[in-house]
Structure formats: C-alpha cells, structure tokens
Amino acid sequence: MLISNPYECAMEFAVNTDRDIFITGKAGTGKTTFLHKFREETAKQVAIVAPTGVAAINAGGTTIHSFFQLPFTPFAPTPEGRSSLISRIKMNKRRRSVIRELEVLVIDEISMVRADVLDAIDAVLRSIRNRREEPFGGVQMIFIGDMHQLSPVAKTDEWSIISDYYDSVYFFSSHVIQKYPPTYIEFDRIFRQSDNQFINVLNEVRNNSLSSEGISLLKSRYFPEFIPQAEENYITLTTHNYSADSINNTELDKLKSPIHEFHAVIKGNFPENAYPIDEVLELKEGAKVMFIKNDIETPRRFYNGKIGVIISIDGDQITVECPGDRDEIIVTPLIWENIQYNTNPENNTIEEKIIGTFEQIPLRLAWAITIHKSQGLTFDKAIIDAGNAFSPGQVYVALSRCRSLEGIVLKSRVNYESIRVDDQVVQFSSYKQDHKSIINELDFAKNKFRTSLLLQLYNFSSLCNDAQSWLNITKGEEPSFNEETIPFAESIFKQLNEIENVAEKFRVQLERIVSREIVDTEFLSERLNSSSDYFAEKLDYLMASLKRSPATTDSKAVAKSYDESLSMIYNSAALKMHMIKHTACNFSVETYYSARNSFIKPDFNIKSYSRGKSTVQLKSKHPDLLNELVQIRNYISENENLPPYIVASTKTLVQMADYMPETEKDLLKIYGFGKKKLARFGAQFLEVINDYIAENDLQSEMIHFEKHKS
C-alpha cells in the first residue's frame, strides 16, 4: 500500500501497529475527522478520553479523571508517589475490566494535559493491567492535539509541587514520554484557510518567527472603533467569559421581540461541567446565533460554528437564516450523549454504554464567544479582542479560527508577547520526522506488530500466571476446602505449564520463520495448521478438566473468589482455542481481530459453595455420615442465619465423619470446636453421629485421632 500523506500514515499506525503516536497539525487540518473515522473503523478495543468534560463529550468519550478515578491533586512520579496513587484509587470491577481489556487509549486535546497527569495514567495502567515493565501497561496510546493552542493549567501551588520533577508542564515532559517518545505525525493539509498570505502569518505565529511583514499584516487589521452592521455576521472572540456574556446580554436586550426560554432535558448521568450549552437557553427573534453541533441529517444543513440569525420561534422549533444559504434552517433539539465504557460479558469486548443524555436546541448567542470555547470552530468573520490574552497560544487559537485575514478585525492591540509560543513547544515540534523516515518506521512497526500478535497468540505465560495465582490463593484457604481441591488445582497448573513449555519452543520456530527478509507464507501456514491441532486438543482437555472441579468450601467469600478465578482461566483458554483455530489457515492482523471479536464466552457454571447442597464432594472414610453432617450444618446455618463455616468448617466436618466423636469431651478435641460452639451446636452433631454408629454397628475412631494428634 502506497502511503501518500500523513493522514493515511497515521491511520496505518493506529490500525496496523501498536506504536504510540502523537497526531498534531495546525487548526483545521482534520484531526477531529481522523478521530471519528478511526473510532468507526478499528477492530481494536478503544477508549477515548479528554482533559475536560466538554472536550470529552465532543470527542465521544469520557474525562481522564473519571476514566482513571484520578485525584485532582498533583502527582509525584516517585515510587512513593506511585504507591500512594494506587492505594488511593477506588476503582470498581467494571472499570478494572475495561482497563484490562483495553488495547488503544486515545487522549484528545493533549495540549491541555499536564505532564504529571500523563505519568499518573501510566502508573495506573501498569498496575491494573499487571504489566509494570511496559509503558502504559502495554496499551497503545494515540495523542491528538496541537501544542500551539491551549496549554495545561498548573496553579502556582501545583507547579511548586511538581516542578522538582518536570522541565515543563506539557505532556511531553512526562517521564514516560521522555523515555518512550511517540511517533510524531503532523497533518499539513489545511482545510480551513486557502489564503496563502494568511497561512504564512499563522505559520510564523505558530513557529515563534513572526516577521516584520507578518506584524504589519496583523496591524493592518487593527480597527478599535469598528462596529459591524447587523447583517455582516461578525462574532467577537474574547479572552474571558464575563466579556463574552456582557456583549451577548447587551445585544440581546436591544431586541424588542419577546424572550423565549428553552430548558434542557437531562436524563441519567450527565455532569454539569460537561454541559455543551446552557441548561436554560434564552433566545429572541432577531438574535445572532451560532450552531454548536454538526447536523445529523444528510445533506448537512449546518456545522459546528456556523452563524445565522433567528427569524422565527414556534414552540421548540426555531428558524434560522444564514448568509449565503438559499434555504432557511429549521432547528429542533438535538441530543448529546455521556458514555461509559463496559466490557461485554459474552466476549470481553469493550462497549460504549450511554449513561446520560443532554437534549437542547444546538444554538448559542453569537455576538461573542470566548477563545477557549471557540476551539474547533470555524468563522468567516471575527472581531478578536485578545489584548488581555493570559496564556500562550490564545492569540493563535483566535486567529486560526478564521478563514481569511480579510475576515479578521483586531479590536485591541495584540500583545506580541502573548503571541509568542513557549520555546519548549517549539523545541518539541522540531522532533517531527520527515515523511520518508516515518514510512520506514511504519513498515517496521507493522511487521513487528503482526509478529507480536502471532507470538502473543501462542504465549500461555499469562494463563500460567493466573493459574499460579489461583493455586496460591487456594492453598492459602486450604482448611476451607475439601481434600481434593489442592491436588486438582495443582493438576490444572501442571497442564498449563506443559502447554506453555511446548508453546515456548514453537514460538522460537515462529520467530525464525517471520524474521526472514522474505517470509515463506506457505510454510508459515503449514506450521500454524499442524500446531493448531495440537494446541486445540490440549486446550480442549484442559477445559474439560476445569469443568470437573471437585472443590467444595463452606465459605461464601472463598467460593466466590475460587469460582471467578476458575471461570477466568476457562474463558481465557476458550478464547485461545477459538483464535488458534480461526487464524491457522491465514494469520494476519485482520484475521486476528476478526477471530477475537467473534468470540463468545462458552457456558461455564461451577459452584464450589457447599451451602444448600444435598451431597458434597468431600473425601471421608464415612461419606454417608459426612453428607448427613453437612446437611445438619446447613440446616443450623439457615435457622441461625450464620455463614456455614462459622457453624462447622469443612475440616471440622471431615474430622467428625472420620473419627466419630461420641461425647462432648471428644467433640472438644475436633478442629474448630470450643466450649461456646459445643454449647450451641454440639448436641445436634452428636445426635447424628451416635445414630450413625448405632445403625451401622460401628465404634468411635477417636482413639486413632489421639494417636494421629500425638
């Protein structure tokens, strides 16, 4: 495939590699379009986050702090700081599941993300995914934004805390980016402006190289007394909310038509800081308005930033007339969605769930708007009042919203210091690679990613680790289980180790095959086909073994942990078998993801909790007596509303069945019995034991218990 432009190159990196990438470009070069297209077309497990609520809603994702449950306090990238962060994060099972299944994390508006926040994200991903040696826990990162626009906010007290660790507040100064820099891709085709003279001025502002000619051109647009005609549809860009609100309210008051209130309909969870527009919108006929959402109809009648005038209001239907349009636009309420990421329990894929909606007329008053809120919008005519610009990039954002120099009026003199872009941003921009070297890196990354997926498919070490962890936990709870549980868990771990030992040798073969300059695809397919039968057979036997789990425990909590771990191992093995079978004939990135996304969890229903069971899989010399003791234990548990293991643990039950204590004195020698428990439950157990001894003409075995104890 011939890659002719940065846009196609970025899509190839995002879809067909696992390389971290930074996608940037001047305003109006298609970064948002890229995000939406990638989201629609990728087969990878993706989540999108942004630093603010509004940015997150516009990107179709959620906020960084919400997704990762990060505190708003600064993060110190030290071992103590990481430990403190992880201990403070209270993340539920749903969020952890999403993060574990995540393959790609997109951070939109990366220019506003502080360095310490990115290091905090790195720390959380490494911890929750249990991949502490890999940057971002093995998740592919896609950073989207323009560092020449709005910068991160770090209050004086916050910067005083983190300045000891960082050269700057920007994301590229984070420790993880310094150590693992992403591939830098810049979109260079400008869709918003076509005026070459204006484009040159914007480039000069962007690169800290404003020439005397550029200064002269900007000065030529300085008209402090300019008052636009109503029909000219100018919008004023200001630095502060109060200025924009004051202009809009003053102009609205001038209109003699009655005011109409439109109340947003908010359903579910939609936080106030993410409202894309006022909850109560006040409009009048004759008001200048701006659309703040793209039209959902085809052909598109309006776009985010289009300006017009309200000519009529009828209920919740507003008619807007826009200069140059042949037809009027009838506007009705539109819906913004607040999403939450979940994992589908059937196939472990990440899904978006709408947890809240905000329905409102997609208009705002458009005599004025803040520069901050103008980001992402396009204007034909704008009055820029940026004399009080308070952060680097604000003037550039304001200028770059406009299509042409002729459409700009500077209401106040531009403070050329505020135009100046931070030298560290300019230096970071110099790291951009040329197109040829990026293409070479892309070819290498694609081959590496394909190889990585192939080797990952035949790597069972993660499953072995899960089984080892499950075995260790089970051994720690040994008294709660029947005697067959530990040998069973050890046999499962042994099976997986044997599979991994064979797989390790096979991976060496695969690496030799795919590392050749020209890969023999026919030979590769032949090896995959023959090996798939072996691994499928072994995995099938493993899954059958897991279904025969003999474990029984009288602790509900222990049973839950055991059952969940067993289910996780079973499903992971089933997924491996499914994917090995479906990729054996033709392994590729596409077939890998097609197989993964078509997987549906098989039925697996193991219950190790013994309460309520009529029979249990416990090993005893007197199984019938043991079952009777279990039933009386469960009966007492129900009536006394106590957990079964409080009444009598598994070990207690087995000792009573094996040694058949006949007296209270004997019963006190049994594991778990003290005077209080004897007084409460002893008589009922002794009655069952003595009846069993009499009915079967047996004798107590407590003499052997004494010898065993000694």
Contact call for residues 642 and 650 (beta carbons, < 8 A) = no
pLDDT for res 293: 86
> Does residue 426 fall inside a structural domain?
no
Q: Is the pLDDT of residue 118 over 90?
A: yes
Q: Which residues pair with 353 in a beta bridge?
A: 340
Tens of pLDDT, residue by residue over 686-706, are 999 999 999 999 999 998 886
Query: Can you give the length of the chain in residues?
Result: 710
Decide if pLDDT at 193 tops 90: no
pLDDT of 1: 55
Q: How far apart are CA 169 and CA 148, in angstroms?
A: 14
Most distant CA pair in the chain, distance: 114
Verify that 687 and 586 share a domain, yes or no.
no
pLDDT band of residue 710 (cuts 50, 70, 90) is very low
Number of domains in the chain: 4
- Cβ atoms 496, 576 nearer than 8 A: no
- Confirm whether 606 is domain-assigned: no
Say whether pLDDT at 388 is over 90: no
In this prediction, residue 430 carries a pLDDT of 79
Domain-located, residue 63: yes
Report the C-alpha gap between 399 and 687 in whole angstroms: 91
The 10s digit of each residue's pLDDT in 555-571 is 888 889 999 999 999 99
Contact 134, 74 (CB under 8 A): no
Boundary (domain end) residue, out of 188, 214, 242: 188
pLDDT of 230 > 80? The answer is no
Q: Let me know whether 24 and 135 are in one domain.
A: yes
Using DSSP's 3-state secondary structure scheme, residue 318 falls into strand
Distance CA 484, CA 470 (A): 15
Q: What is the pLDDT of residues 319-376, one digit of tens each?
A: 999 988 889 999 999 999 999 998 887 777 888 899 999 999 999 999 999 888 787 6
**Domain edge (last residue) among 154, 188, 222:** 188
- The helices-and-strands tally (H runs, E runs) of the chain is 29, 20
Of residues 709 and 482, which shows the higher confidence score?
Answer: 482
Sheet holding 235-238, edge to edge: 368-370, 235-238, 382-385, 408-410
pLDDT for residue 188 is more than 50: yes
Supply the CATH number for residue 660's domain.
1.10.150.80
> Domain containing 118 — which CATH number?
3.40.50.300
- Is the pLDDT assigned to residue 133 strictly greater than 80? yes
Q: How many CA atoms lie within 13 A of 292 on its CB side?
A: 26
Domain membership of residue 431 (yes or no) is: no
Q: What is the pLDDT of residue 418?
A: 63
- Give residue 82's pLDDT band: very low, low, confident or very high (50, 70, 90): very high
Query: Are residue 568 and residue 518 in the same domain, yes or no?
Result: yes
Residue 641 CA to its chain's centroid (Å): 41
Q: Average pLDDT over the chain, rounded to whole? A: 88
Looking at the domain assignment, is residue 614 inside a domain? no
Q: What is the mean pLDDT of residues 606-623?
A: 69
Output 355-358 pairs: Cβ under 8 A, ≥24 positions apart: 355/268, 355/269, 356/266, 356/267, 356/268, 356/269, 356/270, 357/265, 357/266, 357/267, 357/268, 357/270, 358/57, 358/264, 358/265, 358/266, 358/270, 358/274, 358/275, 358/276
Domain of 396, in residue numbers: 196-421
Confidence of residue 708 (pLDDT cuts 50, 70, 90): low
**Residue 605 falls inside a structural domain:** no
Q: Are residues 471 and 567 in the same domain?
A: yes
Phi and psi angles of residue 637, each rounded to the nearest 5 degrees, phi first: -60, -45
The arithmetic mean of pLDDT across residues 526-546, rounded, is 92
Residue 433 within any structural domain of the chain: no
Reported for 609-614, long-range contacts at CB under 8 A and 24+ positions apart, including other chains, are 609/553, 609/554, 609/555, 609/556, 609/559, 609/560, 609/563, 610/552, 610/553, 610/554, 610/559, 610/634, 610/644, 610/650, 611/554, 611/556, 611/637, 611/644, 613/552
Residue 179, Cβ density class (10 Å: 0-12 exposed, 13-18 middle, ≥19 buried): exposed
Read off the pLDDT band of 415 (50, 70, 90).
low
Same domain, 153 and 228: no
Residues 386 and 491 placed together within one structural domain of the fold:
no
- Spatial neighbors of 155 by CB under 8 A, at least 6 apart, are none
pLDDT value for 49 = 95
Q: Are 200 and 184 contained in the same domain?
A: no
Q: Token digits for 147?
A: 């560092």
- Please say if the pLDDT value at position 615 is more than 70: no
In a domain, 388, yes or no: yes
pLDDT at 207 over 90: no
Residue 280 CA to residue 187 CA, distance in Å, equals 38
Which strand (E) or helix (H) includes residue 27?
none
Instruction: Output the pLDDT for position 252.
Output: 95
| Last-in-domain residue among 534, 565, 598 | 598
DSSP code of residue 669: T
The residue type found at 63 is T
Query: Same domain for 38 and 166?
Result: yes
Do residue 183 and residue 205 come from a single domain? no
Do residues 587 and 639 share a domain? no
What's the average model confidence in pLDDT over 217-241? 87
Residues 228 and 178 in one domain: no
Q: Which two tokens stand for residue 269?
A: 């969870």
Residue 204 and residue 266 share a domain: yes
- Lowest-pLDDT range, 296-300, 467-471, 665-669? 296-300
- Does the bond joining 299 to the residue before it have cis omega, within 30 degrees of 0? yes
- ∠ CA 425-431-433, nearest 5°, is 140
